[in-house]
Amino acid sequence: MNTTLKHWKEAATLILAAGRGRGFTPRAPLTGESSSGQSHLPHRSLFDYDVLLLKRSGKGGFMPNAYVFPGGVVDASDFSSEWLDIFRSFTNSPTFGLRSVKQHLETRPPIFATDRLKLGSPIPGEVALRICALRETFEESGEKNHYGVNDLCSSELTKWRALVNQNPSNFIRMCRELQVLPNIWALHEWGNWLTPASRYGTTRFDTAFFICCLQEIPHTLQDDKEIERFQWSTPSEILQSYQAQKLWIAPPQFYELSRLCRFPLLNDLHNFASQRATAGCEQWMPVVVSNDEHLISLLPGDKLYPVDSPRDSEAAKNTVPPSKDHQDASPLHRIVISDRYTLRVQITITPKYNHVLPVAHSAVSHDSKSHKL
């Protein structure tokens, strides 16, 4: 754990995509463009996979009732030296057999670039963050992405899930006693989002996003503690339910689900995620500003994003409100927030690190007075 951080807690989340039992079918990815050149959401029937979302408890202090990807805060046990014994067959590799990322160290997000040995842990950050994502997914949904775990009875896993919920360090004990390995190699680096200032209370997170593709939807159970329910749905179905005000997702989920809409086929998503992951990723801390009509979440690359990174400040206090004229050729990378259920991505920049643009879609207007942000 990085205890030197002032404003953020390190966390990891997992975008879990699972097929409907038909396996991977190699076909070309959807471009997301119609004959007129306009991007649009693909129809639900075009998808051969679903994505797992969990509804947070209404009693929680951070984004109550929001639908989120599974994940949570890094625990000290995720960096425990005890993992060296469990991964002993892979410790000859600097990153436990994970593929090397080509991104230069000086441009890597700190959550990945931090030298964990200097903080007292022999476990590389790229390993510990994946352990965290898998542990939290196991706690919250019972999903068991571990080598050697398929032959275990459900009652045994239910027992261990309760123990891990009680104490995260029991995840190490479970892996040791059951002789299983967290399948860190199935998780591909996807992104890094930071909680903007003054948006969701005082708690802020520096979150590593990973993605994992499974051939079939696994048996899923909610934890009845932090999670009220779970839902497997296609990316377009989730976005349409959000626009219809049937559920609420935060802007990072909206953005990433819109990216997934580029890939209605699981095989294409898996191949893209696996190949792209070695390129690295960019750290994104949204800077929220307002004009007369909207809140605007500025992202790196936008013409109004602060030149000096606001990461270590409480807020970007000197940000100039955006102008209403977006007809010029200035670079845009922002999420326009009309109300709680109406978001729109404006992006004219080329994504870094071989990533893809989100698919744009028509926003549904709502009464902003009825849905205050």
Lowest mean pLDDT segment, chosen from 92-96, 127-131, 181-185: 92-96
Q: How many CB atoms lie within 10 A of CB 291?
A: 12
d(CA 15, CA 351): 19
For the record, the structure tokens of 78 come out as: 């995720």
Alpha-carbon 316 to chain mean position: 24
pLDDT at 65: 87
Mean pLDDT of the chain, nearest integer: 84
Answer whether 281's CB lies under 8 Å from 190's CB. yes
Provide the CATH number for the domain formed by 9-23+42-279 in this structure: 3.90.79.10
Category of 298 on φ-ψ map: left (φ > 0), alpha (ψ -120 to 50) or beta: beta
> pTM for this structure?
0.86
In the structure, what pLDDT confidence band is assigned to residue 369 with cuts at 50, 70 and 90?
very low
Following DSSP, what letter does each residue of 127-196 receive, concatenated?
Answer: HHHHHHHHHHHHHHH----EET-TTS-HHHHHHHHHHHHH-TTHHHHHHHHHT-EE-GGG-EEEEEEEPP
Q: What is the mean pLDDT of residues 12-19?
A: 98
Burial class of residue 357, CB neighbours in 10 A (0-12, 13-18, 19+): middle
**Where along the chain do its domains lie?**
9-23+42-279
31-62 confidence digits (pLDDT tens) = 334 333 345 566 667 899 999 999 987 776 66
